[in-house]
Structure 1
Amino acid sequence: MTGIASLIRPGTPSALGLTPGVTEHIDAYTATGGYRDTVGAAELLDRIAEAGLRGRGGACYPTAAKLRSVRDAGRPPVVVANGEEGEPGSVKDRWLLRARPHLVLDGLVRAAEITGAERGYVYLSDDTAAERVHRALAERAPRLPVEIVSTPHTYVAGEETAVVRRIDGGPALPTAKPPRPYERGVGGAPTLVTNVETLARIALLAARPDHGHRTARTTLMTLAGGDADPLLAEVPYGRTLRSLARDQGTPEPAGALLGGLFGGLIGPGSLDLALDPDALAAAGTALGCGAIRFLGPGECPLALARDALSHLAAESSRQCGVCVAGTGAISEAVAALTTGTATPDIAGRLERWAASLPGRGACGLLDAAAGTAGSLLRSFPHLVRSHLDAPCPACATSAGSGGRLTVAVPGVAGRTVPHQRPAASSPLKGTP
């Protein structure tokens, strides 16, 4: 079972809300400042820029710059709340749509006002989330037409050009760039494709503009690993990865897989890095979608890399030959290491692929595979060498356990309740 915890300072606007185990009713949402006209569109854009809000979908791109590019594209744009969560280790987006659909819709409306958009979409693959968003739309019709578009769940379905292609009636597969959606997207119109947590934080900032910096420097994280249950946590930037491992229940991790499958592997010496997009990027890893899988005692990093690469190879959309060949080759090579059947030149081949393959596919899947291989060589070179000598007992024990990458969405009851503070038995843990 996936737990929920608030690790932020009291008074910080929270994406978790007051009753995270129950779908938030419109009355509860408006009672805490939701949908309130506290700030105009132009001022809100300035506040977003001043706060330094970045996207929470994986790229960490400055939100204000993305909003401006769509606003200034020259035609009435379209706005899309992207709730398709392709990373198996992330649950925050589906949880937000199930538990706090009004927060997401509020952010979507405000993004439309900033950009001048005339219509909006909520894009998702989760049936429960779709039902809760439908209910929220019935409780309060937004100031612009909003349509829900469902897609089959795949790793690449949330990539921004795949989102546009699906909304336009095609398959949820990436397309070549340029043009990017902000230039030409849904129906040919400039399109803002924004992660649902980014929109939620826009709404929080609109309700409490005096806390913009704290809102922008707080994020939802999916933490998993070891023998402990996964945890959906709201975390301030600056916390160390080691402290997050303790919060999740893996107190002495041997390393971690960061950013879902995009940030690669880090060793135990990197666990004192601060949770901050710039600090992590400078260290050669990435915050990505905000998912971390810690390595528990006795787990082998190569087994975790094998599972991640196997998933990526299986999820290739098979549109780019270089991606099909590249992800398959990397996956097979690391799998051979875990079974003691790799050839002596394996490290050299992995190093070449890690250096030459990024940027050659239509989406980030090939980059994630190449990055995983490169991070394995950087963080655990001694283990790569030792796996050439003999089969690894830890890898053999975990063979076929790729499902351990997947995290379940925390339970959210479908009933609605009036505005109230959580009782002592609430699943929302207190701030330490």
Structure 2
Amino acid sequence: MTAIRSLMQGRPATLLGTAPDITEEAEAYVAAGGYGTGSGPEQLLENIAAAGLRGRGGAGFPAAVKLAAVRDGAGTPVVVANGAEGEPGSVKDRWLLRARPHLVLDGLARAAAITGAARGYVYLSDPVAGARIRRAITERVPSLLVEVVETEHAYVAGEETAAVRRINGGPALPTAKPPRPFQHGVGDQPTLVSNVETLARIALIAARPDLRRQIAESTLVTLSGTRGNPLLAEVPYSTTLRALAAAQGTPDATGALMGGLFGGLIGHGSLDIPLDPGALADAGTALGCGALRFLAPGECPVALAADAVGHLAAESARQCGVCVAGTASVRDALHGLTAGRADPDAVTKLLRWSTGLPGRGACGLLDAAAGTAGSLLRAFPNTAQAHVDSPCGACSAAPPDGGRRLAVAVPEAGSSLATPAPAMKGTP
């Protein structure tokens, strides 16, 4: 069972609210300051820029820059709340849609006001979340026309061009870029595709511009490992990875798989890095979707890398030949290492693929597979070669499973006619 906890270090929690296990109703959300008038669209955009809010979907792109690009595009803008969440170790987006649907819809309406959009979509892959969003729309009709679009749960379905393609009536598969959605998206119009947590934080900044920096510099993370229970936590960027490991139940972690399947593996020496995106980038890793999977002592990083790449290979859209062949090659090499039947040149091949494959697919899936292999060789430089020389007992005890060990259950969020107002007055 996935627990929910604030790790805001004495600062008021914002996104979790006070009843994270209950779906917030419209009446409670409005009573707590939600859907308020607040500042106008231009002032809100300035506040978002001043706060330095980054997108929470994976790439961490500056939210204000993306909003302005859509606003200034040629055509009638469209806004999309992206809650597809294809990463196996992430649950934050589905929890937000289930537990705080009005916060997401409020943020979507604010984004529409900034960009000039009159039409919006909530794009998701979780039927429970879809039902909660539809109910929220009936509780309080949004200021713009909002349609819920569901898709199959898949890793590539959350990529922004895949979201646009699905909303346009096609399959949820990525397309070649350019153009990008901010140029030509839904209905060929300039389209903002924004992660639901990003939109939720925009709504919070609209309600409490005085706390804009705190709101922008905290984030939701999904923490997991073989020890303890998975944990959905709200944390400030200043929190170290080691502190997160301890909160999850792995205080003696030897490393981690970062950013879902986007940030690669890090070793024990990197655990004192703060969660700040800049600090992570300097260390050669990334926050990504905020999913962190910790390695316990005795657990093999090669097996974890094999799980990650096995999942990616299974989730390939199979549109790009280089992706199909490349992810399969990296998968097979890692599986060979874990099974004690590695090619003598396996490490050399993994190194070559880690530098030669990124950037050659239509989406980031191939990059993630190659990046995982490269990060394994950097963070644990002697471990892969040791697997070539002799079988690994830890790997044989836990054979690769294509990612099932990486999966995390979404926390429960029951229903209530009224939820308690948050302790921080004025923050929905």
TM band (smaller chain): over 0.9
Letter in 2 for 1:214: Q
- 2:232 match: secondary structure: strand
Q: Shift in Å at residue 255 of structure 1?
A: 0.5
Superposition CA RMSD, Å: 1.1
For residues 43 and 154 of structure 1, what CA distance do their matches in structure 2 show? 37
Question: Is structure 2 residue 360 aligned with structure 1 residue 360?
Answer: yes
Name the TM-score, length of structure 2 as normaliser.
0.97
Q: Is the 8 A contact 2:32 2:421 kept in 1?
A: no
Q: Shift in Å at residue 421 of structure 1?
A: 6.1
Letter in 2 for 1:344: P
1:22-421 aligned at under 5 Å gives the runs 22-401=22-401, 402-420=403-421
Identity of aligned residues (%): 65
Q: Shift in Å at residue 339 of structure 1?
A: 1.2
For residues 132 and 11 of structure 1, what CA distance do their matches in structure 2 show? 29
For residues 252 and 11 of structure 1, what CA distance do their matches in structure 2 show? 27
Q: Is the 8 A contact 1:168 1:187 kept in 2?
A: yes
Question: Is structure 2 residue 6 aligned with structure 1 residue 6?
Answer: yes
Summarize deviations over 1:339-374 as a string: whole Å, max 9, x none.
Answer: 111122111111110001101000000000000000
> Structure 2: which 5+ runs fail to align?
424-428
Q: Is the 8 A contact 1:78 1:120 kept in 2?
A: yes
Letter in 2 for 1:42: E
Q: Is the 8 A contact 2:306 2:400 kept in 1?
A: no
For residues 181 and 46 of structure 2, what CA distance do their matches in structure 1 show? 23
Letter in 2 for 1:414: S
Q: Is the 8 A contact 2:75 2:189 kept in 1?
A: yes
Q: Shift in Å at residue 389 of structure 1?
A: 1.5
For residues 242 and 10 of structure 1, what CA distance do their matches in structure 2 show? 19
Q: Is the 8 A contact 1:13 1:208 kept in 2?
A: no
Q: Shift in Å at residue 10 of structure 1?
A: 4.5
For residues 185 and 21 of structure 1, what CA distance do their matches in structure 2 show? 35
Q: Shift in Å at residue 295 of structure 1?
A: 0.4
Q: Shift in Å at residue 418 of structure 1?
A: 4.0
Q: Shift in Å at residue 417 of structure 1?
A: 2.2
Q: Which runs of 4+ in 1 moved over 6 A?
A: none
- 2:326 match: secondary structure: helix
Letter in 2 for 1:196: V
Q: Shift in Å at residue 18 of structure 1?
A: 1.3
Letter in 1 for 2:304: L
Q: Shift in Å at residue 75 of structure 1?
A: 1.4
For residues 321 and 62 of structure 2, what CA distance do their matches in structure 1 show? 32
Summarize deviations over 1:191-210 as a string: whole Å, max 9, x none.
Answer: 00000000000000000010
Q: Is the 8 A contact 2:13 2:234 kept in 1?
A: no
Q: Is the 8 A contact 1:13 1:211 kept in 2?
A: no
Letter in 1 for 2:144: L
Summarize deviations over 1:288-309 as a string: whole Å, max 9, x none.
Answer: 0000000012110000001001
Query: CA distance change for structure 1 residues 172 and 408 in 2, over 3 Å: closer, same or farther?
Result: same
Q: Shift in Å at residue 11 of structure 1?
A: 5.0
Q: Shift in Å at residue 168 of structure 1?
A: 0.4
For residues 170 and 211 of structure 2, what CA distance do their matches in structure 1 show? 41
Q: Is the 8 A contact 1:323 1:366 kept in 2?
A: yes
